[in-house]
């Protein structure tokens, strides 16, 4: 699993990225993640896109389920994981986090979105 230009869920992912661009255009950089998540949630509802916010997933390890879970920022139509960041620059740890969320959720596409720079940046990851 690696970052790729392979376009699955092309129309839906373009719509999501467009909504993120709208949020960034209106808010700019400098807010904490939750502000961008709230604004993105508003846009998703307004557009009628089916999603879950902070969906819980269990993590299996060997023959057990670990007691701590992870929360995906957004799961769109049970297909796409959105991981929202508001940092100066995306790093490998953010990429690893998104990839691990994809593995555990068994979704096919992960969008790592960063609102923390002067312009919106994003990366696509395909399982």
Query: Can you give the pLDDT of all 127 residues of the chain as single tens digits?
Result: 455 555 899 999 999 999 999 999 999 999 999 999 999 999 999 999 999 999 999 998 999 999 999 899 999 999 999 999 999 999 999 999 999 999 999 999 999 999 999 999 999 999 8
Is 31-126 a CATH 3.40.920.10 domain? no
Q: Where are the domains of the chain?
A: 31-126
Q: What is the CA radius of gyration of the chain?
A: 14
DSSP-derived secondary structure letter, 78 = T
37: Cα separation from own chain's centroid: 10
Q: What is the pLDDT of residue 7?
A: 81
Distance, in Å, from the CA atom of 15 to the CA atom of 49, rounded to the nearest integer, reads 9
- Strand-pairing partners, residue 84, are 113
Q: What is the pLDDT of residue 127?
A: 85
Distance, in Å, from the CA atom of 44 to the CA atom of 94, rounded to the nearest integer, reads 23
pTM of this prediction?
0.91
Q: What is the pLDDT of residue 1?
A: 46
């Amino acid at each position: 699993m690696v970052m790729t230009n392979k376009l699955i869920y092309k129309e839906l992912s373009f719509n999501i990225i467009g909504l993120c661009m709208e949020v960034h255009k209106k808010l700019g950089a400098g807010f904490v993640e939750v502000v961008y998540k709230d604004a993105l949630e508003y846009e998703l509802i307004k557009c009628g896109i089916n999603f879950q916010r902070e969906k819980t997933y269990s993590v299996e390890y060997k023959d057990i389920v670990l007691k701590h879970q992870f929360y995906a920022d957004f799961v769109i139509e049970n297909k796409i994981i959105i991981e929202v960041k508001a940092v100066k620059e995306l790093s490998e740890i953010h990429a690893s986090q998104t990839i691990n969320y994809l593995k555990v959720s068994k979704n096919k596409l992960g969008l790592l979105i960063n609102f923390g720079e002067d312009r919106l940046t994003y990366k696509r990851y395909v399982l």
